[in-house]
């Protein structure tokens, strides 16, 4: 399959997919594991939760989420990247209640009111805006009423004011969509797709945040 979005860097393949967490660990100066552990702790996962992960990637986040689940809980990941899916399957093969499916997340999906938690981690920033909205609508449909959406991604920041060791990798790695993502009012955009804002937490020098929303419709 060719690239879905020619001018985006969000589809990850080849060596980058194979060594994704190692690369992120380098970029975050050895802090990647700690950052992921903290945001997963903040999701307040309970043993029987059914979690859907949009753009699940390498399965790294799953290795932290699974620690909170009993065998009655489950995680379903969706992704389109062949190499990311391969990596996910390898990393998660010891967990019978963690599965990944090859599926586009930015077209209408039919997961109706089945899940207790929906995670979108480092995906929205790399998509064209109308595709982001469709992902959010899918997350809304997937969740049971009053259940929560977790968006772990870049926070709003002034790129020029960041330290050079963050500014330079951001400018080298990210595509044009990420530059406009950090400028937008996400609280308002997500509220408009059928969610109520719950809270926001910051990580890694306030460059990354997790926004928590609750489905009300």
**For residue 46, which of 116, 144, 141 has the smallest C-alpha distance?**
116
Helix (H, G, I), strand (E, B) or coil at 171: helix
Q: Name the minimum Å distance from CB 109 to ligand SAM.
A: 10
**For residue 117, which of 69, 149, 151 has the smallest C-alpha distance?**
149
Partnered with residue 199 across adjacent β-strands are 212
CA dist list (Å): 107 to 65, 139, 151, 175, 188: 26, 11, 18, 21, 22
Could you say whether residue 11 binds ligand SAM (CB under 6 A)? Answer: yes
Could you say whether residue 35 binds ligand SAM (CB under 6 A)? Answer: no
Query: Is the Cβ–Cβ distance between 152 and 208 less than 8 Å?
Result: yes
Residue numbers 118-137 binding ligand SAM by CB under 6 A: 121-123
Element spanning 153, H or E: strand 143-154
Contact pick of 106, 209, 211, 212 for ligand SAM (by CB under 6 A): 106
Could you say whether residue 104 binds ligand SAM (CB under 6 A)? Answer: yes
Q: Name the minimum Å distance from CB 216 to ligand SAM.
A: 25
- Binding residues with ligand SAM: total (CB under 6 A): 21
Query: Is the Cβ–Cβ distance between 207 and 162 less than 8 Å?
Result: yes
Binding string, residues 62-101; x marks residues near ligand SAM by CB under 6 A: ----------------xxxx--x-----------------
Contact pick of 45, 51, 52, 56 for ligand SAM (by CB under 6 A): 56
Q: Name the minimum Å distance from CB 132 to ligand SAM.
A: 10
Q: What angle do CA 83, 74, 210 make, to 5 degrees?
A: 75
Which residue of the chain is nearest ligand SAM when measured via CB? 57
Partnered with residue 79 across adjacent β-strands are 102
Contact pick of 39, 49, 52, 55 for ligand SAM (by CB under 6 A): 55
Applying CB under 6 A, the residues found at the interface with ligand SAM are: 4, 10-12, 55-58, 60-61, 78-81, 84, 104-106, 121-123
């Amino acid at each position: 399959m060719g690239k879905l979005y020619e001018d985006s860097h969000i589809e990850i393949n080849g060596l980058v997919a194979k060594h994704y967490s190692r690369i992120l660990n380098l970029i975050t100066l050895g802090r990647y594991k700690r950052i992921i552990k903290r945001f997963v702790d903040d999701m307040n996962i309970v043993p029987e939760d059914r979690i859907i992960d949009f753009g699940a990637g390498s399965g790294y986040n799953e290795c932290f989420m699974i620690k909170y689940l009993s065998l009655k809980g489950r995680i379903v990941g969706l992704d389109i990247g062949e190499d990311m899916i391969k990596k996910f399957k390898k990393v998660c093969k010891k967990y019978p209640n963690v599965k990944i499916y090859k599926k586009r997340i930015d077209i209408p999906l039919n997961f109706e009111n089945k899940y207790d938690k929906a995670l979108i981690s480092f995906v929205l920033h790399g998509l064209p805006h109308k595709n982001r909205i469709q992902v959010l609508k899918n997350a809304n449909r997937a969740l049971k009423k009053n259940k929560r959406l977790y968006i772990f991604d870049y926070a709003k920041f002034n790129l020029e004011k960041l330290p050079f060791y963050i500014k330079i990798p951001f400018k080298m790695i990210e595509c044009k969509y990420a530059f406009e993502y950090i400028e937008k009012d996400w609280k308002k955009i997500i509220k408009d797709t059928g969610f109520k804002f719950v809270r926001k937490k910051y990580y890694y020098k306030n460059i990354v945040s997790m926004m928590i929303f609750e489905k009300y419709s």
